[in-house]
Structure 1
Amino acid sequence: MADIRVDEQSGEAGFGDYVALLKPRVMSLVVFTALVGLLVAPVSVHPVIAFASIVFIALGGGASGALNMWWDSDIDRVMRRTCARPIPAGRVEPNEALALGLGLSILSVAMLGLAANWVAAGLLAFTIFFYVVVYSMWLKRTTPQNIVIGGAAGAFPPMIGWACATGGISVESVAMFALIFMWTPPHFWSLALFMKDDYSNAGVPMLTVTHGRKSARTHILVYTLLLAPVTIGTGFTQIGGGVYLAIATLLHARFLWGAWQIWRRDEAAAIADKYKVERKTFRFSLIYLAALFAALLAEAGLHHFGFGGWW
C-alpha cells in the first residue's frame, strides 16, 4: 500500500487526512447499499454507466462527510471518538474542509445527472442537503430525536442506486430506504450507551444524555421490534424471495435477542463488564444490515437465472 501517513510533528496534512474528511467507513456503506439498489432494479444498466454512477454517489457521500466535519469541528474536539479527526487535530483548516465538501457536492450531483439521470442526481443533492443542513446543523444539537429523523440521510443511497437504473422511485426502493431508516436508531443508540460521556461533554442531546440509559435501552428494544415488519415485509416485494426471507428471519431473531439483552440489563451489570453486551449488539447490527442487502443481491442473482422470488 502507498504510504499516506501524516507528519504529526509538523502538523501538516497528508493525503490520508483529506481521505479521512470523506468518512471512508461511512462511504463504504453508502457505496454498498447504493450498488445493491442499482443491481436489484428490474432494469439493466451498462457497466460503464453503473460504475460511474457509484463513483459519483460515493463522492456525494464523501462531500457530506467533509461538510459534516467542517460544521462539527467544535464538538469533535471534545469527544474522544472524534478528537483525532483532521480538523480538531489541527492538520486541516475548517475552510479547506468546507471548500472540499462544496466542490465535491457540486461535482457529484452534476456528474451523476449526466452519467445516469436527473432524478438520481436530485435524490443525491437532497441527501447531501438533508445530512448537512437538516441533521448536522439542526437536529443533532437540538433534539434527542436527532438520530431518528436524521437517519433518513443514510437511508437514501439504495433509492439513488435504484433511480440510476430506473429513473424513478418505487415500492421496492422505499422498502430499502425503510430498512436503513428503521435500523439506524437501535444501531446508533447501542453505540451511544457506551459513549454517553462523549455526547454529554459535547452538549449533544443524545437520548442517553437527555432521557438516560434506561430509556435508551427501552427505545432500542421498541425500535428493533418495529424494524421486524419492515425487514420481513421486504421479502414479499419484487426484490424479495425465499432466500432473503430465511436470512432476514434468522438475522432479525438474533438482533432482537441482543436488543432484549440490552433492555433487561441494569447499569451496574453493564459497567461491570464494560458494556460487553452493548458493544456486541452494536457490532452485530453492522453485520445485520450488510447481510440483509447481500441477501437482496443474492435474490437478484437468482431472479436473473429464473429462480427465487415469489412472482
Structure 2
Amino acid sequence: MAKGVEAGTVETDRPGGIIGVVNDYVTLTKPPIIVLLVITAIGGMFLAAEGIPPLQALGMVCLGGTLGAGGANAINHFLDQDIDAIMSRTIKRPVAAHRIAPMSALVFGIALNVGAFFVLTYWVNLLAASLTLSATLFYVLVYTGWLKRNTPQNIVIGGAAGAIPPMVGWVAVTGSLDLPALYLFTIVFFWTPPHFWALALMIQNDYQRAGVPMLPVVVGEERTVQNIFMYSMALVALTLLFGASDAVGLVYLASAVALGAVFLAFAWKLKRDYSVRRAKHLYLYSLLYLALLFAVMLADGVYRF
C-alpha cells in the first residue's frame, strides 16, 4: 500500500492535475502490451490478405484491438489490486497506489470492451468481435481470476488469451477460422511461457511475497530454466513448421530461422549458466522476437517468394 494512504481511499494529490488523471487511465491499459498484441493482429491480417489488407478493416482491427486489450488490462488492475500493492514491480500502479478507485478501473475496462465489441462488429465482422471478447473473458476470469493464484501452470493455460489477436486479424480478412490462423495462435501460445517465466525468474521474490505460485516459486530456478528451454525449442520448431506451409514464403522462413536461432541461444545460455541477468536478456529478446516475427509476416504478405 502506498505510504500515507489508507486502504479504500483514493489518492487525490496527483501531480499534473488532469494530465495526471489521463496518464493514470492510460497506464491502466498497459500500452506496451497493447502494441505487441496489435502487431500480432496486423501480421495475421497481412498473411490472410496475401498483401495489404483493406485499410478500413486494418484501422478498425487496430482500434478494436486497442480497446479490447486495454479494457482487459484495466480490469486486471481491479482484480489484482491486492497483490499489486505487495509487489515492488506493481506497487505504483494507479489502483494499487489508490490514485484511481477500483470500481472506476472496472467500469473503465468494461466500457472499453463494449466499445471494442461495437467497433469490430459494425466495421469488421461478428467473429472478430466475438474472438476479442473471448480473449478478454478468458484473461480476466480464467487467468487472472483463477489460474494465476492457484497453479504454477497459470501462464501456460492463461497464455491462450494473448494468442487470440492474430486469429482476430486473420478472420477480419477472411471471415473464417482457417488452419493458418490456428498456427498463429499456437506460435504465440508457445511463446508465452518462456517469456513470462523469464520475467518470473527476475522478480520471483515479488511473486513469493504476494503468494502467486509462479513456476520459479514452486519448483525452483533449475526446473524453470529447463522448462523455458523445452518450450523455446517447441516454439522455434512450430515457427519453422509454419514456414513449410503455403501460408508464408521465403521471407518469413528465412527470418524465422534467424530469429529462432537467437532465441534458442539465449535460452541455452540461461539453461547452461543461470543468472538473473541472463533471464533478463531472454525476457527482453522475447519481446523483440515476437514483434519482429509478426512484422516479418507483413513483409512476407506483400513480397511473397
Query: How far apart are 1:96 and its partner, in Å?
Result: 0.2
**Matching residue of 1:29:** 36
CA contact (8 A) 1:192 1:208 kept: yes
**Matching residue of 1:290:** 291
**Matching residue of 2:200:** 192
User: Structure 1 stretches of 5 or more lacking a match?
Assistant: 1-5
The answer to whether the aligner puts 1:8 opposite 2:18 as a matched pair is no
Matches within 5 A, 1:113-262: 113-262=121-270
The answer to whether the aligner puts 1:87 opposite 2:95 as a matched pair is yes
Q: Match for 1:228: what amino acid?
A: V
CA contact (8 A) 1:235 1:245 kept: yes
Partners of 2:273 and 2:150 in 1: CA distance: 29
**Matching residue of 1:300:** 301
DSSP 3-state at the match of 1:14:
helix
Partners of 1:295 and 1:46 in 2: CA distance: 19
Partners of 2:266 and 2:248 in 1: CA distance: 25
CA contact (8 A) 1:239 1:296 kept: no
Name the structure, 1 or 2, with higher relative contact order (CA <8 Å, separation 6+). Answer: 2
Change (3 A) 1:46 1:298: closer
Q: Match for 1:55: what amino acid?
A: L
Partners of 2:105 and 2:14 in 1: CA distance: 18
Q: Match for 2:197: what amino acid?
A: W
CA contact (8 A) 2:139 2:161 kept: yes
CA contact (8 A) 2:64 2:117 kept: yes
Partners of 2:120 and 2:158 in 1: CA distance: 23
DSSP 3-state at the match of 1:238:
coil
1:140-185 Cα offsets, whole Å, 9 max, x none, are: 0000000101111111001001111111111111111111110110
Partners of 1:10 and 1:254 in 2: CA distance: 43
Once the two structures are aligned, what percentage of the paired residues are identical?
A: 41
**Matching residue of 2:49:** 42
RMSD: 1.7
CA contact (8 A) 2:29 2:69 kept: yes
Aligned length: 292
CA contact (8 A) 2:193 2:231 kept: yes
- TM-score, length-scaled by structure 2: 0.91
Query: How far apart are 1:50 and its partner, in Å?
Result: 2.3
Q: Match for 1:291: what amino acid?
A: L
Partners of 1:265 and 1:8 in 2: CA distance: 44
Partners of 1:49 and 1:215 in 2: CA distance: 44
